Structure 1
Amino acid sequence: MTCMMQAGLWAATQVSMDHPPTGPPSQDDFSEVLTQVHEGFELGTLAGPAFAWLRRSLGLAEEDYQAALGPGGPYLQFLSTSKSKASFFLSHDQRFFLKTQGRREVQVLLAHLPRYVQHLQRHPHSLLARLLGVHSLRVDRGKKTYFIIMQSVFYPPGRISERYDIKGCEVSRWVEPAPEGSPLVLVLKDLNFQGKTINLGPQRSWFLRQMELDTTFLRELNVLDYSLLMAFQCLHEDERGLGSSLIFRTARSVEGAQSPEESEAQNRRLLPDTPNALHILDGPEQRYFLGVVDLATVYGLRKRLEHLWKTLRYPSRTFSTVSPARYARRLCQWVEAHTE
């Protein structure tokens, strides 16, 4: 399947290179569907012009995007501790993350896409994972498989020592750690993080404020069950205390304000001069990779019934299926309690 994905994405990206966006996406751009027929399969590109504009706004060159996702090297299979049946892949350079999604989840993402783009325009340094493409793959006229492409939060991966997926609750939030010396890379969960803190130093206030802004936005979309991804990397001695050398890099974010007042309203910060700067915060001794992912679960009838069932089964424990308002508030409280 990955070989078909690579060939299809190469051709799909070529379309956006041949017809680059000339301005912000229109309503038609958000609803456009392009189907390209290849030998043995079809690849669909949903809202292609809108995503092409978003990638350009993020400073991502289409040539680099095409080279990373095309046939230049094999995708890496990502072993997830998630309960979902989704498949996870990384591009060969580990810069981009691919995940299969259900049809309903894709519909939710596309319905929210205009507001998602607006949120990134208002808050260019948002912690929300950057969604870069939504596609479908059909093999031999079979059932469509949908998948999304995101900028990987855990990039560049070198020297990362720990990875976590945080939801701010207890039920099913423990992963058995890999044995010492094992090459297996696991993403741990809330209960694995007990007794630990994130030491952000002076960047803590920015982080708390941005979490509040992003979770408020997701609450307004009636979304829940998203995660805060975290990873840690020890800073070398010569990397510590480099706050004075940070650069205010607006060109690498979504287009935004210029004045100090507008920058404050958008909650901008000084970005480190490093790849993936939007998801990286440096503390006094550690570099933190931080991003909010999984934005496609809405609080509909199914989730309300699941909430009722879990309330009866786990009367004194916290679980993920709660109202969007409570979910947002609880995750922000977890962040405040575990940062310094």
Structure 2
Amino acid sequence: MTCYNNLKCLVQLLFSEDRLKTKQVHFSTSSDDSSVFHSEVDFRFKTYAPPAFDHFRGLFGVSQEDFLVQHKNSPLRELSSSGASGSLFYISKDDEFILKTVQRKERRLLLQVLEDYYQNLKQNPRTLLPKFFGLYNYIPKTGGNKNIRFVVMNNVLPSALKMDWKYDLKGSTYNRRASLAEKMKPYPTFKDLDFVEHFPGGLILEEATYNALMRTLDLAASENSRQMQRLKEEEKDLEESKIQKRTDENWFGGIPARSRNGDNLLVFLGIIDILQSYRLSKKLEHTWKAVVYD
């Protein structure tokens, strides 16, 4: 099937049932025709929906060669995480890729929303959603070790700049202050109340930058594809392209801002943990905390 620029046709091709099948390779310490020889330990390695993620990497400008080279012989660095999900984070040598462990339900959810995720990427190239490059599962032969499911995604924080503050923001005030132990770390992750304390007057953005950012956030949150398309008017596209050009050339991909004290800042934004299922119990918990604490 040839689709060219036909979005509907391309979606049907990429996300058909047979294209979302799992590819599995067995790595064995004993050489045979059904496995790949490996000198360390026996394990199986699963790749989920390879054609879909190959296409995503192409959309993100990541070549197959760069993707493989960065993970083939280069050691990964473990990153500290203050999140409640219990996920482990590792970063590639060039700081471009992050490997994040995920639970079975998160893997299932990502596969379920792949088509909607793709539609969002096509209609909103500047989305703040994570850029997923691949979904995998490491399965050791020995029964004592658990499966390790992980996604490979982009790193939104630049390695070329020294980071002054890092925040995990949820829009709530209940229990949203970094612990003393967290604050003692070399690169702590602060929370909502810490942000309010550090920037009591908030941050100031240029009007054009603010408007472009709000449109990006609106598009990321919208579930109506027609509304998303209507927002892409020529005048807005021209304005955003100018802002994007200036951002790429001068600000390392960050958003220029100022504090109320007049300090110049660069802000880097990204939406994370989109694979967390927001069930009824969580909704009730959020409502209760909002009423009692906010």
Would you say 1:305 and 2:281 are equivalent positions? yes
Aligned residue number for residue 222 of structure 2: 216
**What 5-or-longer segments of structure 2 have no aligned partner?**
1-9, 29-41, 259-263
Letter in 1 for 2:23: L
1:273 partnered with 2:274: no
1:50 alignment partner in structure 2: 52
Do the aligned partners of residues 139 and 200 (structure 1) sit closer, same or farther apart at CA in structure 2, a change above 3 Å counting? same
Q: Which residue of 2 aligns with 1:85?
A: 86
The Cα of 1:275 is off from its aligned counterpart by 11
Change (3 A) 1:131 1:314: same
Decide whether aligned partners of structure 1 residues 304 and 26 sit closer, same or farther in structure 2, where only a CA change above 3 A counts: closer
Per-residue deviation, residues 251-295 of structure 1 (Å, max 9, x unmatched): xxxxx9xx9628639965524336996x53234632221111111
**Alpha-carbon separation, structure 1, partners of 2:156 and 2:276:** 20
Residue aligned with 1:107, SS = helix
Distance 1:165 1:275, change over 3 A: farther
Equivalent in the alignment of 2:129: 128
User: 2-side partners of 1:53 and 1:27: how far apart?
Assistant: 14
How many aligned positions are there?
252
Write out per-residue CA displacement over residues 287-318 of structure 1, whole angstroms, 9 at most, x where no aligned residue.
2211111111233xxx3124435655774224
Alignment of 1:156-167 (within 5 A): 156=159, 158-167=161-170
Q: 1:70 & 1:60 partners in 2: Cα distance?
A: 15
Match of 1:60 in 2: 62
Partner of 2:204: 199
In structure 2, give the amino acid aligned to 1:317. Answer: Y
SS at match of 2:176: coil
Q: In the alignment, does 2:85 pair up with 1:112?
A: no
In structure 2, C-alpha distance between the alignment counterparts of 1:102 and 1:203, rounded to whole Å: 37
TM-score by length of 1: 0.65
* Structure 1 partner of 2:33: none
**Structure 1 counterpart of 2:256, from 271, 282, 287:** 282
Q: Distance in 1 between matches of 2:63 and 2:285?
A: 47
For the pair shown, the structure with the greater C-alpha radius of gyration is 2
Give the one of 184, 189, 204 matched to 1:187: 189
**2:273 paired residue among 294, 303, 312:** 294
1:66-105, CA deviations, whole angstroms, 9 ceiling, x for partnerless residues? Answer: 1222222x21111111112211111122211111111011
Higher RCO (C-alpha 8 Å, min separation 6):
1
| Residues 26, 86 of structure 1: alpha-carbon distance in 2 compared, 3 angstrom cutoff | closer
Question: Which residue in the other structure is 1:251 paired with?
Answer: none
Letter in 1 for 2:193: L
Pair 101,262 (structure 1): closer, same or farther in 2 beyond 3 Å: farther
- Measured in 2, the distance between the counterparts of 1:81 and 1:171 equals 16
**1:144 Cα offset (Å):** 2.2
Counterpart secondary structure, 1:175: coil
Across the aligned residues of Structure 1 and Structure 2, the Cα RMSD in angstroms comes to 3.2
TM-score by length of 2: 0.74
How far is the alpha carbon of 1:140 from its aligned partner?
1.4
Percent of residue pairs bearing the same amino acid type: 24
Paired with 2:161 and 2:174, the residues of 1 have a C-alpha distance of 31
Q: What is the CA–CA distance in structure 2 between the aligned matches of 1:167 and 1:70, rounded to whole Å?
A: 35
**CA deviation map 1:115-145 (0-9, x unaligned):** 1011110011111121111111111154422
Does residue 261 of the first structure (1) align with residue 253 of the second (2)? no
Question: For residues 179 and 210 of structure 1, what CA distance do their matches in structure 2 show?
Answer: 31
Measured in 2, the distance between the counterparts of 1:275 and 1:137 equals 40
* Pair 267,110 (structure 1): closer, same or farther in 2 beyond 3 Å: farther
Q: What SS is found at the alignment partner of 2:173? A: coil
Partner residue, 1:38: 27
Q: Distance in 1 between matches of 2:185 and 2:167?
A: 17
Distance 2:114 2:239 in 1: 19
